Amino acid sequence: MRLVFPMIKNTILSASIVLSTALAMSVLAKADFSTPAFAQGVTPKMHLEEGIKALKAGDTQRALMHLNEADKGISDQSAKMHLDEGIKAQKANDNQGALMHVDAADKALGGSGG
């Protein structure tokens, strides 16, 4: 009788581990790791708008991160040209020039220009 309970306990523990592993593998197989969950559905225009907000707040590092992300997805030539010039201006510490260009990029995409 003493040997039966440890065997049952070990069997249940082993089954639990197997089921947990199978569940974890199933979840991982369906997960989309290409884009972080917080970033899914974020458009280049949204990055541009966040970049403008960051520029106005004086947060140049955050601004450049958002502007670079926006640059990856903008296809409108006028907007892209202004965005690229805005990024160059920001890298040269020309906040006014950067804002002028990213506002023009926003307007080219139908925005209010910041």
Asked whether residue 113 is assigned to any structural domain, the reply reads no
Alpha-carbon gap, residue 88 to 106, rounded angstroms? 16
Number of independent structural domains in the chain: 2
Residue 17 is predicted with a pLDDT of: 85
For residues 60 and 90, is the Cβ–Cβ distance under 8 A?
yes
Asked whether residue 114 is assigned to any structural domain, the reply reads no
Name the residue range of residue 60's domain.
43-108
Alpha-helical (H) ranges within the chain are: 4-30, 44-57, 60-73, 77-91, 95-108
**Range with lowest mean pLDDT among 31-35, 41-45, 78-82:** 31-35
Q: Are residues 25 and 47 in the same domain?
A: no
pLDDT-derived band of residue 83, with 50, 70 and 90 as boundaries? very high
- At 80, phi and psi to the nearest 5? -65, -40
Q: Are residues 101 and 57 in the same domain?
A: yes
Alpha-carbon gap, residue 51 to 70, rounded angstroms? 8
Higher pLDDT, 75 or 38: 75
Residue 48 has pLDDT above 70, yes or no: yes
Residue 39 has pLDDT above 60, yes or no: no
Asked whether residue 38 is assigned to any structural domain, the reply reads no
Token pair for 70: 């926006």
